[in-house]
Amino acid sequence: MISKEFKKFELDYNNYFLKKIEKIKDKYPEITNKSRRTGKALKNICFFIWYYAQEEDNRTIDLLLKSSILVSAQDNFYDNINISYKEKERFYYAFEEVIKGKKNKILNQNKQFKELISLWEEIRNEAKKSQNYLYKYWQEKSLDMTKSMLLEDSMIKNNKISFNEYMKIAVNTVGIIFVWSNYFLNKHMLKEDLKKIDPILIIGAEVSRLSNDLASYRRIKKELNAVTLIDKKYPKNYIVNLVKRLDNKFNRDLLKIKIDISVKKTIKSSVDFLVNFYKNSDFS
């Protein structure tokens, strides 16, 4: 028998979160097409945001949804082996113009390219409404993520890359730090609080990335990821134990830092969700 609580959840979730997803799909039909990885992941993305941010206001949830969809869609673009490096580089320069607030005329590009740039413009316009230091923080994290996605394309072809070199790039390509930068825009985070939490966010991103790579390793054992780069007898066990150690440090450091409790709760919940999700799925 379905409980009243579940019925209420289903009604609220369908009427609020899933309706927001439908609006984004209508506006960006190409990058959210059901044949694309992002289109297939939309319900997972939606549930992820609901899980850790359901109590946030409308603007914050909108930014979290759009930024999470952007991460997935842009990762899909950069992972596509049929798109040349030159085209990926061209996208990076177009993106760079957008987040600096410059007008960019996109000529002779396909719908995927154009919709990604349009979504960047939409998110940037929201980011600009925040205080200047928060906007600059957002710009920095946007650049870190997209530059890393471009670098990752050439990194995949480099068989000599070390685990540490890989992680320097992969910690940004997972996109969670960029998503958090959108979350902070409407939370009135102090400049000193951003400095305090930044090293902790990196650890949280490492935990998320490594958890993602464990899921990828289950699916394709020969694919370049953190597990295949470990030169040990039992590389999977090494990464599993590393995730546990980093996750413990992340939680300890987050607990000690003196910032708004609700922000700490949201950051922790988002990492906990990803760790548990990746144990059973490949949410790439």
Domain of residue 172 covers: 4-280
Residue 233 burial (10 A CB sphere; 0-12, 13-18, 19+):
exposed
SS3 at position 9: helix
Q: How many CB atoms lie within 10 A of CB 3?
A: 8
pLDDT at 1: 47
Q: How many CB atoms lie within 10 A of CB 36?
A: 18
Query: Which among 147, 259, 130, 143 is positioned nearest to 182, based on CA atoms?
Result: 130
Mean pLDDT of 245-258: 97
Assign 2 a pLDDT band (cuts: 50, 70, 90): low
Tokens at 121, concatenated: 């413009």
Angle between helices 176-185 and 111-127 (to 10 degrees): 40
What is the helix, strand, coil percentage profile of the chain, to 5? 75, 0, 25
Query: What span, in angstroms and rounded, lies between the C-alpha atoms of 241 and 211?
Result: 11
Looking at the whole model, is its pTM more than 0.75?
Answer: yes
Number of folded domains in the chain? 1
Assign 274 a pLDDT band (cuts: 50, 70, 90): very high
Which residue type sits at 250? F
Q: What CATH number does residue 120 fall under?
A: 1.10.600.10
Q: Residue 191 above 90 pLDDT?
A: yes
Q: Residue 45 above 80 pLDDT?
A: yes
pLDDT at 109: 82
